[in-house]
A and B are shown apart, each in its own frame.
Chain A
Amino acid sequence: MNENTKLILAVAVTAIVCIAGTYVAMTGSDGDDPSGTTLSVAGSTTVLPLMGLYQENYEKYTNVTLEVSGGGSGAGASAVINGTASFGMLSRDLKGGEIDSGLKATVIAKDGVAVIVGANAGVTDLTLEQIAKIFSGEITNWADIGGTSGAIAVNIREDGSGTRDCFDTVMKGAYAAYDIPADTNEVGSTGAMVTAVEGNPTAIGYISFGALGNLTTATDISVNGIAATTDNVVSGDYELQRNLILATMGDPSGPVLDFFNWILGPQGQQLAVKSGFIAVKPVAV
Chain B
Amino acid sequence: MEAESIRTESRFHSDTVTKYLLMGIAAVAVSIVFFIILFILGNSIGAMTDTGIRDLLTGSRWLPSKDLYGMLPIITGTLLVTAGAILFAVPIGVAAAIFISEVAPPRFRSVLKSISEVFAGIPSVIYGFFGLTVLVPLLRDTFPNHLLMGNSWLAGSILLGIMALPTIISVSEDALGAVPRSYREASMAMGATKWETTIKVVTPAAISGISAAVILGMGRAIGETMAVMMVCGNSAIIPDPIFDVFSRIRPITATIALEMPYVVVGSTHYSALFFLALILMIMVLAISIASKSIVNRTRKKFGEAENRPSLVDLMIAKLPIRLVNGSKSAFAVAGLFLISYLIAIAFLNPFWAAVIGISVTVAVIASSLLWLNSLKKKGISVRPRSPSEFIDCIPIKTKDIFRRILTYLLMIAFVYMGTSLFYDGTVAVMAGLAVAAVYAALMLTFRGIDSRIIQKIAHTVLLVVMAFAIFLLVYILADIFIEGLPLISWDFLTGYPKDAGRAGGIYPAIVGTLKLIVGSMAIALPLGIVTGIFLAEYAKDTPFTRTVRNSIDILNGTPSIVFGLFGMSAFVVYFGFGYSLIAGCITLGLMVLPVIIRTTEEALKAVPKELREGSMAMGATKWETTVKVVLPAAIGSVITGVILSIGRVAGETAPIMFTAVIVYQRAISHSILDPVMALPYQLFYLATEGMGSSAMQSAVATVLLIIVLSMFVLASVVRHYFDKRIKW
Contact = CB atoms under 8 A, between A and B. Distances in A.
B689 A69 contact: no
A206 to B, nearest CB: 15
A189 B689 contact: yes
A176 interface: no
Given A65-B667, A69-B661, A49 B515 contact: no
Contacts of B73: 182
Contact of A185 (B145, B151, B261, B665): B151
Given A49-B499, A82-B264, A185 B233 contact: yes
A250 interface: no
Contacts of B499: 49, 52
A30 to B, nearest CB: 5
Contact of B237 (A7, A31, A159, A183): A183
Interface stretch (A72-80, A224-232, A260-268): A72-80
Given A52-B501, A183-B247, A188-B258, A68 B518 contact: no
Interface stretch (A126-134, A197-205, A234-242, A276-284): A197-205
A137 interface: no
Contact of A30 (B235, B259, B667): B667
The CB with the most chain B CB atoms within 10 A, among A32, A56, A59, A82, is that of: A82
B604 interface: no
Interface string A184-215: 11101111101110011011000000000000
A185 B248 contact: yes
A84 interface: yes
Contact of A192 (B148, B514, B515, B688): B688
A22 B689 contact: no
Given A22-B515, A196-B149, A191 B691 contact: yes
Contact of A182 (B235, B259, B725): B235
Given A19-B518, A26-B511, A40-B675, A68 B578 contact: no
A191 B689 contact: yes
A256 to B, nearest CB: 16
Contact of A183 (B235, B576, B674, B685): B235
B235 A68 contact: no
Contacts of A31: 666-667
A38 interface: yes
Q: How many residues of B sit at the interface, in one of the four size bands?
A: 35 or more
A97 B518 CA distance: 41
A188 B261 CA distance: 11
Nearest to B234: A186
Contacts of A78: 261-265
Nearest to B692: A191
Contacts of A199: 137, 140, 149
A185 B235 contact: yes
Interface in A51-96: 51-52, 55-56, 59, 65-79, 81-84
B123 to A, nearest CB: 20
B367 interface: no
B226 interface: no
B500 A68 contact: yes
A1 interface: no
A8 B635 contact: yes
The CB with the most chain B CB atoms within 10 A, among A31, A42, A185, is that of: A185
A202 B258 CA distance: 26
Nearest to A214: B690
Contacts of A68: 500-501, 662-665
Interface string B576-612: 1011000000000000000000000000000000000
A7 to B, nearest CB: 8
Interface stretch (B60-68, B176-184, B427-435): B60-68
B511 A22 contact: yes
B656 to A, nearest CB: 12
Contacts of A7: 635
B674 A67 contact: yes
Given A75-B261, A192-B688, A200 B149 contact: yes
B376 interface: no
A84 B669 CA distance: 17
A49 B148 CA distance: 29
Interface in A88-111: 101
Given A8-B632, A83-B573, A71 B262 contact: yes
B64 A159 contact: yes
Contacts of B725: 3
B668 interface: yes
B500 A38 contact: no
A11 B639 contact: yes
A73 B263 CA distance: 11
A166 to B, nearest CB: 14
A125 interface: no
B670 interface: yes
Contacts of A188: 234, 258, 688-689
Contact of B262 (A19, A72, A101, A194): A72
A22 to B, nearest CB: 5
Nearest to B718: A11
Q: Which 4 A-B pairs have CB atoms at the shortest separation, nearest pair first?
A: A52-B500, A74-B262, A195-B690, A191-B689
11 contacts: A7-B635, A22-B511, A65-B669, A69-B579, A69-B661, A71-B262, A78-B262, A151-B148, A159-B65, A189-B689, A200-B148
Interface of B: 61, 63-65, 73, 137, 140, 145, 148-149, 151, 233-237, 247-248, 258-259, 261-265, 496, 498-501, 511, 514-515, 518, 572-573, 576, 578-579, 632, 635, 639, 661-670, 674-675, 685, 688-691, 725
Interface of A: 3-4, 7-8, 11, 18-19, 22, 25-28, 30-32, 34, 38, 40, 42, 45, 48-49, 51-52, 55-56, 59, 65-79, 81-84, 101, 151, 153, 155, 158-160, 182-186, 188-192, 194-196, 199-200, 202-203
Given A22-B515, A59-B666, 9 more contacts: A4-B635, A8-B635, A30-B667, A31-B666, A52-B499, A70-B689, A79-B261, A159-B259, A188-B234
